[in-house]
Structure 1
Amino acid sequence: MTVLLAHNFHRTTLPSGEDVMYRRERALLEQQGLKVHTFELHNDSTAHFGLIDYVRTARDLPFSRRVYAAFAARLREVQPDLVHVHNTFPLMTPAVFAACKAAGVPVVHTLHNHYLFCANGTCTLNGQPCLRCLDERSIRPGIRHGCYGGSRLATLPVARLIRRTWQQGFLAGHVDGFITMTAFDRDLFTRAGLPPERLFVRPNFSPDPLATLDDPAPPDPSEPPYVVFVGRLSREKGVPVLLDAARRLSVAVKIVGSGPEADAFREQATDLPNVSFLGQRSQAECFRLMRRAHALVFPSVCYETFGLTLIEAFACETPVIASDLGGITGIVEAERTGLLFPPGDAAALADRIHQLVSTPNQARTMGRAARRVYEACYTPAVSFTRLLEIYDAVRRSTAA
């Protein structure tokens, strides 16, 4: 099978799980013998944009004629059996779907974010979960609150995009199959009006760290315990909640990652000797930190489309302490593979951290259970099988 993959990369300075999963999936398909071609755009290209460039990008958000022409040419060149589109925001635009429709090529779209109905793509408002635009079936709340970039003006072009792709039914009319990573998100996108018969659930996957780490030893009981956070340093990821919880604890809290609010968070933690910011680390270093940790902390306050570090911790045989919110609860089973706490509740988070750190036998038992779940559900082999099932289903439906 010949597959054309399309993806709009985020900025290198703002690492994204979407980019990680696209690269992993591209490598997986190649390793499994599929003929893979790509069409890729990078937000790094906007670093030297001038005012005219930004105005043009904003104008073209709903549909870029230049991207349509370039992608149509790529389709003619590659002649794929199927196109798999990942992120299209903001440069690729939904024009790629129109090009597929015109060429008669089946297209699958992985819904990595919520830009279909949410102006900031994260379903948060003032640090709290928010589904107002979806509930009201209108982008007006997003405009009113300036949800994109904290600006009503900046939100207007995104509102035009949402109005076209969601409210005018463009996406539903041009995509043959949609992939969500959780059942919770499948239900959200069904509420948004996407055809349920074209929505497929396929979780993300992780390589096996225990097969690649030089020293895959578990936590050493003689070493001081610590918990670890790995992710983008931004408000919706729950970093302020974690810092507040750390004030109530003596256990070490290691924070890995970078993001737009990293400096502000470091400033907030200057009086917290148990908190250390480790910056951006390689995949191998993250796996090593997770493997040695007593728990991974996942304090997100937004409706995550998945939460890649959850299953990476599972793969490292490390339990997870996570927000009891959205699709997270379909991944982390309370008291079996980890612990859940009410989103935004720092006191409850501190209590869960103390519970696992003070009961290492319980943590080890949960870690072993998490590893078994990883092996059953989140390996590359399991994920590839599921992806081929979706590809086959979409090709059959479009051929009928």
Structure 2
Amino acid sequence: MDIVVAHDFYQQRGGEDQCVEDEVKMLRSHGHNVTEYFVHNDSLEGMPPLTLAANTIWSRQAFNDLGAIVRDRRPQVVHFHNTLPLISPSAYYATKQHGAAVVQTLHNYRLLCPNGLFFRQGRVCEDCCGKMVPWPAIKNKCYRASRAATATISGMLAIHKLAGTWRSAVDMYIALSEFGRSKLVAGGFPASRVATKPNFLARDAQPGPGRGGYVIYAGRLSSEKGVDLLLEAWGALGREVPLKIIGDGPMAGRVKDACSQEPAIEWLGQLDIEAVYELVGDAEALIVPSRCYENFPRVIVEAFGKGTPVIAPGFGPIGEIIENGVTGLLFRPGDASDLVQKVRGMMADGVARAHMRRAAYRAYADNFTEGVNHKSLMRIYERAIATADASRRRQSIRVYAETRQKTPQ
């Protein structure tokens, strides 16, 4: 296939950026011709606010750039990832204008929630889901704690909902979980155009030894990730279980303070991916303490690839990924005391933990390898192409009928 992949890279690199790079490598390794249309949010520095707002709603630059690429390369599919703010939905129309199918992977809940997280003031929030104008987000300054910035995102969502962009300009959406798909459908997206494809591990993983005697957290140090919950749990666990923390973020100061008060906690900061894999593989368990729904945490797949069981809250997509008592343990969302009990249970039963390690690796091998993911993506591309072809036929019939009505008999 000839494919264009479009993505707006974040200023602070995250898992979504890695997912895009891994998927491009996967496509090329299977013989597809991939053209990259990549922009970077570093270019936002110094951009006037009104220009940024206009680009978020309709980027002329992206419309012209994608139009030229699709016209020249004639791809069957243009696959979008992050479009905010430099690509914008204008690029869908440029793609359709030149005959390619449009696929959009949704790495977050942005089309239903301006901050993309379904999370506000320390709790899950779905106040904007399904609304024509997501006014609660504007009221609460949900995007970057700015009413103006939130209004820009909310306006973009409302304008394109009113214009029918989300229903007609995208041939297939990719949700990362059935939970995410159900939210999109509940929010008004056509069920027939929303497929499910999880993240994958772009390597031939092998189980780690799992004999390090510690548990591990790897991710952004922030409230929605449940870092405060993690630290609260270790306030009760004390020195019972060593905890290694990998990552950085706005709660780094609290993590540093916790390390100074509790010797069992070790903060390693940011590490390269190979070091993370090695530490996750030797951990007794990975902890994902998120307070938000997440979408599909890459770190869980990375842990499964190393045969490491996961302790996580039993809600949202995580409840789909982890089979309680088989590939890990699920605790009550937001409940530090239940997290403590699950950690103690995991560490106390070496036989059960060994079974979980084998089951976690099987889950990776069956569901999250590159080969399995490629087959799933090809099926979605085929559906997108068929949808685009059917739309063009309907448009041709409509134009023909209108022409006939206007032609004197």
> Shorter-chain TM-score category?
over 0.9
Alignment of 1:192-341 (within 5 A): 192-208=187-203, 210-211=205-206, 217-220=208-211, 225-249=213-237, 250=239, 251-341=241-331
CA-to-partner distance for each residue in 1:19-60, whole Å, 9 max, x for gaps? Answer: 1110100000000000110100112223xx22x534311232
The match for 2:385 is 395
RMSD: 1.6
Distance 1:67 1:397, change over 3 A: closer
- Which amino acid in the other structure matches residue 38 of structure 1? E
C-alpha displacement of 1:208: 4.1
CA contact (8 A) 1:294 1:360 kept: no
The match for 2:4 is 4
CA contact (8 A) 1:319 1:337 kept: yes
SS in 2 for 1:92: coil
Distance 1:398 1:386, change over 3 A: same
SS in 2 for 1:270: helix
Return 70-79 or 198-207, whichever deviates more: 70-79
Q: What is the CA–CA distance in structure 2 between the aligned matches of 1:185 and 1:102, rounded to whole Å?
A: 29
Q: What is the CA–CA distance in structure 1 between the aligned matches of 2:281 and 2:257, rounded to whole Å?
A: 28
The match for 1:173 is 168
Tell me if 1:125 matches 2:120: yes
CA-to-partner distance for each residue in 1:176-202, whole Å, 9 max, x for gaps? Answer: 001111001110000111110011111
SS in 1 for 2:23: helix
Q: What is the CA–CA distance in structure 2 between the aligned matches of 1:263 and 1:45, rounded to whole Å?
A: 29
CA-to-partner distance for each residue in 1:210-250, whole Å, 9 max, x for gaps? Answer: 45xxxx64123xx5x11111111211111111111111112
Tell me if 1:85 matches 2:80: yes
CA contact (8 A) 2:128 2:135 kept: yes
Q: What is the CA–CA distance in structure 1 between the aligned matches of 2:253 and 2:209, rounded to whole Å?
A: 32
Tell me if 1:145 matches 2:140: yes
Same amino acid, percent of matched pairs: 35
SS in 1 for 2:281: helix
Output the TM-score relative to the length of structure 2.
0.91
SS in 1 for 2:261: coil
The match for 1:183 is 178
C-alpha displacement of 1:264: 4.2
CA-to-partner distance for each residue in 1:314-348, whole Å, 9 max, x for gaps? Answer: 11101000111111101001011100011111111
Within the candidate set 43, 51, 57, 1:45 is matched to 43
Q: What is the CA–CA distance in structure 1 between the aligned matches of 2:149 and 2:102, rounded to whole Å?
A: 30
CA contact (8 A) 2:255 2:267 kept: no
Within the candidate set 328, 353, 374, 1:363 is matched to 353
C-alpha displacement of 1:89: 1.3
- Which amino acid in the other structure matches residue 290 of structure 1? V
Distance 1:267 1:281, change over 3 A: same
Residues paired across the two proteins, number: 388
CA contact (8 A) 1:116 1:166 kept: no
CA contact (8 A) 1:7 1:86 kept: yes
Within the candidate set 365, 381, 397, 1:375 is matched to 365
Q: What is the CA–CA distance in structure 2 between the aligned matches of 1:27 and 1:217, rounded to whole Å?
A: 25
Q: What is the CA–CA distance in structure 1 between the aligned matches of 2:163 and 2:219, rounded to whole Å?
A: 34
SS in 2 for 1:76: helix
